[in-house]
Amino acid sequence: MNRAQSPLGQPLDRVDGPLKVRGQARYAAEFDVPGLLYGAVVSSAIARGRVLRIDSAATEALPGVHLVLSHLNRPPIASYDEPYEDADAAEGSPFRPLYNDRVLYSGQPLALVVAETQALARHAASLVHVEYAAESHQTDLQAVREQAHPAPAEVPPPRGDFEVAFNAAAHRVEGEYGTPVEHHNPMEPHASIVQYQPGGELLIHDKTQGVQNCQRYLEQVFGLQDRIRVLSPFVGGAFGSGLRPQYQLPLAVMAALALKASVRVELTRQQMFTFGYRPRSIQQLKLAADGEGRLQAVEHQAIGQTSRFEDFTEHEVEWSGMLYACDHVRLGYRLAPLDVYTPLDMRAPGATIGVYALECAMDELAHEVGIDPLELRLRNYSEINGNQGKRYSSKELRACYRQGAERFGWSRRPAQPRSLREGHELIGMGMATGVWEAMQMPASARACIDADGKLLVTSATADIGTGTYTAMTQIAADAMGLPMADVEFRLGDSSLPQAPLEGGSATVSSVGSAVQRACAGLRQKLLDAAQQSPASPFTGASPDAVEFIGGRMCLKATQHAVELKRIVEVSGALESEAHVEPGEQRQQWATATHSAVFVEVRVDEDLGTVNVSRVVSAIAAGRIVNPKTAGNQIVGGVVWGIGQALQEETLIDHRLGRYMNHNLAEYHIPVNADIPGIEVIFVEEHDSVVNELGSKGVGEIGIVGVAAAVANAIYNATGKRVRDLPITLDKLL
Amino acid sequence: MSENPSAAGAIGTCTITLVLNGEHRRLEVQPWTTLLDLLRDPLGLSGTKKGCDHGQCGACTVLLNGRRINSCLTLAVMHDGAELTTIEGLARGAELHPMQAAFVRHDAFQCGYCTPGQICSAVGLASERCGYSREEIREYMSGNLCRCGAYPNILAAIEEALPAVRGQKQEDAR
């Protein structure tokens, strides 16, 4: 297909759009299953201790209640750690739901009430009375920061001599930055329907970013090999919350096995605060520069919280050793266990909070040195990843700075804080750099063409709103020279070819490469099949001698063409499966996406309220498969960054060890009125190393740096440097 | 209703009638069943979403006698005789409602879970005496959360479709 006609790179409408706007896309809790029973979870009211007694007499007396499931009567489950270790497990002993009488955190599921309606289950669950032997707990990271232990993570070793370089430098800044617990809060609560089949097989609808991860987990935990199929065609947002199997899934399976019936367990919004989250962090940054602003020394030390049973780690401090050129770098990362659940990857895990601290410190350094913050970044620009000593496979960050600054009007920013005012509003401008890894994971895909010329491509990946359906359809349509309407991409089914977890901005890179390769195999099969017919004009033609355009295969030399469906009419349906591993060539290079984000804020001097009034985000992420859906991803990331900067914080009452604002009225996320116009620029970036598509992925990069740019803009507006997120009005008054 | 009456215990069910997406329906409901739960479970109209069940997110927005309402915050028995339109009732056969079409064109969603509520809310807005500027649309659409953060595209879609939807409503009213 010639490039002008190729769907690749076109801003096409989402292929699943019509289903979604009609309300016909079905999410995990929405499948009609005959005889379905409904589960409601009883959550722990204490943060640490033991369950002494579960009194469910009143519950069981209600007509329509089928089961009260707890550690006392659950079906057998694995006892060792290994079966519970899923593809995104942290180091340690994974949580085992309803395993024994131990209470490890407030909100822990202790029982499941199964009844004939959801309302009855919920009412019945409220009648379960649990007696505890409570033990003293600790949920405050600040209180135990001194007892933190080194994180089991590969933090880059120190380079140069930080101490000497820091002390000798002309300019120094240091500060402590804090970020709070945040919860993913996808709009769709986590839910599972376990459909009990006549033969004892389980057909499961689950909200997940990895159907095969859930399938494996259940097989291992329940010892149910070859009896489980997990489906997840639509996911109502996840942002990381679906990377690990959440507890409603094994609970629903337990109930289905115990009752030999189909069971649905849907968490309440309050219960969406009873599993993974972005961990609270305390970070110390020390930066030093010479008279011209060239970085002489960088130190980034972070303390994160984790649970008592797992050591959750993320890439939090690495960015400070790779984003800018510096010879003397010291990085450290420690963890403090608390009586809480294990944290979980949440949109751009680690980078979101680590780059926030680094990029605020860079702003502070710019003021200390007396140069423009953008100029400071340009003076320290690095073509290599200093942690690895490798060149970037591509890095068009300079273009991001230039194009973003121009579009935003950065040159109009006053250097002096608190010097722009309109009525009672102080106006400020800030910027920051963003960075995220450009990863690739092993992945498979299958492509099949039928005699109607329709192509079906499948892989067990997910579309959590990221546009996977659309992007994969585009990649396949391009590879086969077929119109979009003749291509269907299917995902979210554990029986499909292997795919990695849908996360880390790696899906286009990983699954997209497999789709491309499967289509290449199918093209070869079509050519082989055409060559089978007697006196075929394609006899002896090599794959390079033919091209696929407009539903036909053409000999380049003679323009002789045959419709693909004519070939398949004779040969019968053809299919090709491909498995793609990350390319060897990646080893020699550092690979990353970059961004430059520019923000304008208006701060009400009397009220301390902050309005973000303009954002420009310039992104370098390689080839963009669909600028419409990719742009939407970046906008969403920016919205998340604004929420992180100004609103999001899960507050815990440390006396009870329990979250206080576990609902959407008190856990604030941005609403439409909070969000200004957001301009997204994709700068041109060519990369032949990351994968055959040259695409790096865009799910995370949009958020990284945004909170720092907002904080820096607030400083520019007010002269106040708030280092603890979120920057709420009380901190500005 | 597919729900087992035994679950209702001693309290009986109530009979209500609704004009649901243009169709007259006679329904037996338990007195504590919310409009949302009635739609999603027994009726299988799962296009109306449950995001919080507490009136905090707007995902369950439907049109009750033409006005937008959080269906999780009201009981079904309170609406005997009402006219109810859900996301499933907006399109005319294969033809999308102008608001639905605008949402697709502007990519005004990602995961799609808040989308039915956003669209019903926007259609409801067309009957109100507000929403005549971008700022007003943003303000009056702020009861519908979108965690994916597609707000700028939601705004663009509504801004484009509102005049046509208002025009249609005025015509229908004549």
The CATH number of whichever domain residue A120 belongs to comes to: 3.90.1170.50
Domain that holds residue B169: 98-173
Which of B90, B88, B76, B93 lies closest to B18 in space, CA to CA? B76
Contact A665 B138 (CB under 8 A): no
Average pLDDT across each block of 10 residues of chain A; the chain has 733 residues. List them in order.
74 98 98 97 98 98 98 98 97 98 98 97 98 98 98 97 98 98 98 96 98 98 97 98 98 98 98 98 98 98 98 98 98 98 98 98 98 98 98 98 98 97 98 97 98 97 98 98 98 98 96 98 98 91 95 94 96 97 95 98 97 98 98 98 98 98 98 97 97 96 98 98 98 95
Q: Are A317 and A133 in contact (CB under 8 A)?
A: no
Which residue out of A648, A649, A685, A700 is catalytically annotated?
A700
Domain presence at residue A512: yes
Q: Based on the domain organization, do B48 and B80 belong to the same domain?
A: yes
- Residues A117 and B4: their CA atoms lie apart, in Å, by 8
What's residue A534's pLDDT?
86
Q: Do B10 and B81 share a domain, yes or no?
A: yes
At B10, the pLDDT band (50, 70, 90 cuts) reads: low
Residue among A16, A63, A266 minimizing CB distance to B9: A63
Name A600's Cβ contacts closer than 8 Å, sequence gap at least 6.
Answer: A408, A427, A428, A429, A612, A613, A614, A615, A713
Cα separation, B153 vs B159, whole angstroms: 10
Other CB atoms within a 10 A radius of the CB of residue A573 amount to 12
Q: What is the pTM of this model?
A: 0.97
- The answer, for B53 touching chain A at a CB cutoff of 8 Å, is yes
Q: What SS3 class is residue A397? A: helix
User: Which residues are CB-contacts of A559 (< 8 A; sequence separation ≥ 6)?
Assistant: none
Chain A residues touching B77 at Cβ < 8 A: none
Residue with tokens 């002096």: A416
* pLDDT of A604: 98
Same domain, A532 and A445: yes
If asked whether residues A417 and A452 sit together in one domain, one would say: no
CA distance A302 to B150: 32
Looking at the structure, do residues B74 and B130 belong to the same domain, yes or no? Answer: no
Q: Tell me which residue has tokens 């990362």.
A: A333
What's the one-letter identity of residue A408? F
Residues 101-160 of A with CB under 8 A from B: 115-120
Encoded tokens for A133 = 């032997």
Whether B138 and B169 share a structural domain: yes
Helix axes A507-532, A468-480, angle to 10 degrees: 30
Per-residue confidence band for B173, with pLDDT thresholds at 50, 70 and 90: confident
Residue A327 CB coordination number (10 Å): 14
Extract the tokens encoding A212: 């095969």
Is residue A687 within 8 Å of residue A707, measured between CB atoms?
no
Instruction: Give me the number of domains chain B comprises.
Output: 2
The CATH number of the domain holding residue B45 is 3.10.20.30
Any domain includes A256: yes
Q: Looking at residue A534, what DSSP letter applies?
A: T
Domain-located, residue A645 = yes
CA separation for the pair A450, A89 (Å, rounded): 40
A91 & A211 share domain:
yes
- Amino acid identity of B121? S
Query: Per the domain annotation, does A6 fall within a domain?
Result: no
| Residue A625 shares a structural domain with residue A604 | yes
The yes-or-no answer on residue A116 being catalytic is no
Boundary of a domain, candidates B89, B110, B133: B89
**Domain of B127: which CATH number?**
1.10.150.120
| Residues B95, B101, B106: CA angle, nearest 5 degrees | 165
Q: In what order do the strands lie in the sheet with A552-555?
A: A546-549, A552-555, A561-563
User: What pLDDT does A8 receive?
Assistant: 96
Cβ contact, residue pair B107, A640, below 8 Å: no
CB A404 within 8 A of CB A638: no
Q: Based on the domain organization, do B105 and B79 belong to the same domain?
A: no
B103:A17 CB<8 A: yes
Q: Are residues A83 and A200 in the same domain?
A: yes
B159 touches chain A (CB under 8 A): no
In terms of domains, do B123 and B81 share one?
no
Claim to verify: residue A293 and residue A369 sit in the same structural domain: yes
Whose structure tokens read 């430059």? A596
Same domain, B56 and B109: no
Contact yes or no for A360/A173 (Cβ under 8 A): no
Clarify whether residues B57 and B125 are in a common domain: no
CA distance A732 to B13: 55
In a domain, A9, yes or no: no
Q: Over range B12-23, report the average pLDDT.
A: 96
Residue A143 lies in a domain: no
Phi, psi of A588 (to 5 degrees): -80, -5
Q: Of B33, B62, B89, which residue is a domain's last?
A: B89
How far apart are the C-alpha atoms of A104 and A309, rounded to whole Å?
A: 8
* Claim to verify: residue B107 and residue B62 sit in the same structural domain: no
- Domain end among A581, A612, A631: A581
Which of A549, A581, A613 is at the close of a domain? A581
Q: In terms of domains, do B47 and B25 share one? A: yes
Give a yes or no: residue A539 inside a domain: yes
Verify that B31 and B59 share a domain, yes or no: yes
Burial of A680 (0-12, 13-18, 19+ CB in 10 A): buried
In whole angstroms, give the CA distance from residue B121 to residue B19: 19
| Amino acid (1-letter code) at residue A646 | L
Beta bridge partners of A444: A579
CATH number for the domain including A494? 3.30.365.10
Query: How many Å lie between the alpha carbon of A575 and the closest alpha carbon of chain B?
Result: 30
Number of structural domains chain A divides into: 3
Task: Specify whether B77 is located in the same domain as B124.
Answer: no
B103–A673 CB contact, under 8 Å: no
Cis peptide before B116 (omega within 30 of 0): no
How many Å apart are CA A122 and CA A119, to the nearest integer? 5
**Beta-strand (E) ranges in chain B?**
14-20, 23-29, 61-64, 67-70, 83-85
Across the interface, of A466, A632, A673, the residue whose CB is closest to B142 is A673
Domain that holds residue A528: 17-24+441-581
pLDDT of residue B12: 85
Q: Which of B42, B62, B89 is the last residue of a domain?
A: B89
- What pLDDT is attached to residue B2? 39
Angle formed by the axes of helices A706-718 and A351-369, nearest 10°: 30
